[in-house]
Amino acid sequence: MNQQNLFGFADIPEWEQAALDDRLVADVVFNLPLEKPYAYLIPEPLRGMLRPGQRVRAPLGRSNREVVGYCVGVHSAGPSEVRLKPLLAVLDRDPLLDDRMLELTRWIGERYICGWGQVLETVIPAGVRKKSGTRLVPVCELVPGAIDRPDTRQLSRQQQLIVDLLREAGVPVATSELCEQAGCGPSPLAGLRKKGLIRMLRVRSEIDGLRAAGAADEPDLALNEQQQAALSGILTSLRSGSHSTLLLHGATGSGKTEVYIRAIREVVSYGRQAIVLVPEISLTPQTIRRFRSRFSSVAVLHSHMTDAERHWQWEQISQGGIQVVVGARSAVFAPTPHLGVIIIDEEHEPSFKQDTTPRDHAREVARFRCAQEKIPLILGSATPTLESWLRAQRGQDILLSMPDRVARRPLPPVVIVDTREDAQIRKGAAIGRALFQAITRALREQGQVILFLNLRGYSPTVWCRSCGTGVKCPNCDVTLTWHRDRAQVVCHSCEYATLPPDKCPACESPTIRFLGIGTQKLDEEVSGLFPAATVLRMDSDSMKKPGSHDEALEKFRRGEVQILLGTQMIAKGLDFPNVTLVGVIDADTMLRQPDMRAAERTFQLIAQVAGRTGRSERGGRVLVQTTCPQDPAVLFASKHDFVGFAQHELAERYDLQAPPFTCAARVIFRGPDERQVQDVAEAVADKLRSALATLKAAAPETEPLRVLGAAPAPVTRLRGLWRFHLQICGRTPELVRQLWLQVEKTLTLPENVEMAIDVDPVNAR
């Protein structure tokens, strides 16, 4: 028997070592947490086919079950790799990701403490993995010039309708869609084809993607001095050939989008591409239209796309045929081969943070990708995150300011209304006396009104008057919300819904009451107070249909709606010159949350929604109803004073050594048994403290680290699972990661207890 070598394998005979010299090994990662790459032998038939970035099928574990993974590297076999399992198949003809994107995804796995394969599974859209939309479908298009022939006057009604539809579309249209719109079968198409007026083609099924091109027919807008100065700073960075992050701090209505467009124009002139991230595509139709009117090829990535459309867009982008990619958080991974700039608009929005594994933040991912490409990253907001503001104050990023609105229009005056003594509010109304008078005046002067309330449903609390407890969801530690239009009480966390209780589950008293005001109740009250006005509600309950957001906003733009009310979706990116009044129904909604960022979010929401008015010569005003008129977030927002608020809030964060002065990682444990979850969380916290003590004993000069908890999560029960959490705080993400990995490898969790790690958390629930 051969002797064992230091790798634990038998010594390899010389003849076998010679054969090993030309053997290749693939490093493969799977959709698993915190796993290092697995090594697999590449069989001879697959050698010429496999490259990093392709998917493979490989046997995994002792059972050798076949699992799909991602090849992240190829190297020559070493002495310890002679008896590796072979790969079974290569699933992609070409790599789905290039070397830089592989490096980016590896960094995400390290930065956010998760598996590399988990990141790859998220980055590559399902439609791309499945190669959706590759089948051919029949389409029709007009034959150029044929429609002007004299004999075309004798068309049937349906044939004429088909011709009109094709002329209006301007691109090939699927035959099935034409027949549906014209209300006919294939006979009229056959007749038009026989006359030589249309021709039939077969194209890939993502035909809708053909309509993504823009018209690029609108002229540039004139820039004022502040816009020109900001653009000059951006162009200097673009032309430097190096990476820098620029924070464009511009007041609402200061013209940030026009600056973005001019910067992108420069990038496109170099033959390069731009990525523009916006909080939610469905809520920014005006912005999308502006980009499409200024550039000839704009890809819009959004959640309503089919897998086929997403696959088609991915291919067009990767081939360099798209100038501008506009999308939500995931668009940061668009496979642009000639990337020239990334822009994040409204960078303060929490939706840029992924709330499932890998829980990355698009801002930090974009920063790393821009550093890779040696290109600028532009962050734009009227109310930047304190993280971005602190970096700019320290000189790590470049600050560009546009404090004035376009045409020097003043920011609207903000009036704080103390509702504690308002008779109408005390009776349970949403609209106080001052706001009622302001709405009446705005409507009388033919202005439009926006009312903001960040609570949906009819009444957000179901309450027992006898025992004083709220009626909670049976699955979550959340009070049920009364939705009168559905005649149900609903949990907004797990969507549990049932008939309203006729007695209290706790004391069985029949004195159940519905308390508080949601958008549905506000809609009813406003419609009753102003019967002559058309009222439109925008929240996630009323805007479920695809395209409903755009349709609703178009009605408001055309003046068909006088009062628009809704949740935070109406606080973002809307520009309606005829809005002369904005009312904030309850400014305290966010302040009441058990969240370190409650004050920051309150300031941002008030400032953003206030920015929806005063955008024309007509001017505008803002009324903020609150029971906390002296709260610093409310006071600073009423003065449009972001700098003052940031200084105040950063001072408090510094005293607490809270983010952005430290990096935090939240570890969440959940399971069906409360006691077991608590025990596991406390045991892990003890292990972390023990490891931290050992680390400090070995190196007293170690940067400070803290372990907070374990404790019940703010929402202790969610979707039937009990939740406890702890937090690791350190000066840098690397220190936090180092401490966690030292403990993580020693953990063995019970089978029914799950664990999740959230680095730089923005959701405290």
pLDDT tens readout for residues 563-604: 999 998 887 667 788 999 999 999 988 887 888 899 999 999
Strands 621-626, 579-584: pairing kind:
parallel
Q: Tokens 């940067």 sit at which residue?
A: 703
Token pair for 681 = 């969380």
What would the mean pLDDT of 164-181 be, rounded to a whole number? 81
Spatial neighbors of 630 by CB under 8 A, at least 6 apart, are: none
What would the mean pLDDT of 449-473 be, rounded to a whole number? 92
DSSP 569: G
**Predicted pLDDT of residue 573:** 63
What would the mean pLDDT of 361-368 be, rounded to a whole number? 98
- Cβ neighbour number for residue 627 with a 10 Å cutoff: 14
CATH topology of domain 225-407: Rossmann fold (3.40.50)
**Predicted pLDDT of residue 701:** 74
pLDDT range class, residue 151, cuts 50, 70, 90: low
For residue range 374-393, list pLDDT tens digits in order: 999 999 999 999 999 999 99
Assigned CATH class of 23-129: alpha beta
**Domain ranges for the chain:** 23-129, 136-204, 225-407, 409-460+516-654, 663-759
> CA dist 426 to 177, 420, 430, 549, Å?
56, 7, 9, 34
CA distance 517 to 79: 70
Report the predicted TM-score, pTM, of the whole model to 2 decimal places. 0.86
For the structural domain made of 409-460+516-654, what CATH number should be given?
3.40.50.300
Beta carbons of 205 and 327 less than 8 angstroms apart = no
What would the mean pLDDT of 420-443 be, rounded to a whole number? 94
**Predicted pLDDT of residue 408:** 84
Asked if CATH classification 1.10.10 holds for the domain at 136-204, the reply, yes or no, is: yes
**Predicted pLDDT of residue 633:** 95
Helices 175-182 and 187-194, packing angle to 10 deg: 110
Q: Do domains 225-407 and 409-460+516-654 have the same CATH topology?
A: yes
566 conformational bin, left if phi > 0, alpha if psi -120 to 50, beta if neither: left
Report the chain's mean pLDDT, rounded to a whole number. Answer: 89
CATH classification for the domain delimited by 663-759, as one of 2.60.120.10, 3.30.70.600, 3.40.50.720, 3.40.50.150: 3.30.70.600
pLDDT range class, residue 152, cuts 50, 70, 90: low
pLDDT range class, residue 653, cuts 50, 70, 90: very high
**Predicted pLDDT of residue 204:** 61
Nearest CA-CA partner of 538 in 525, 557, 551: 551
Residue 762 in this model has a pLDDT that exceeds 60: yes
**Predicted pLDDT of residue 214:** 44
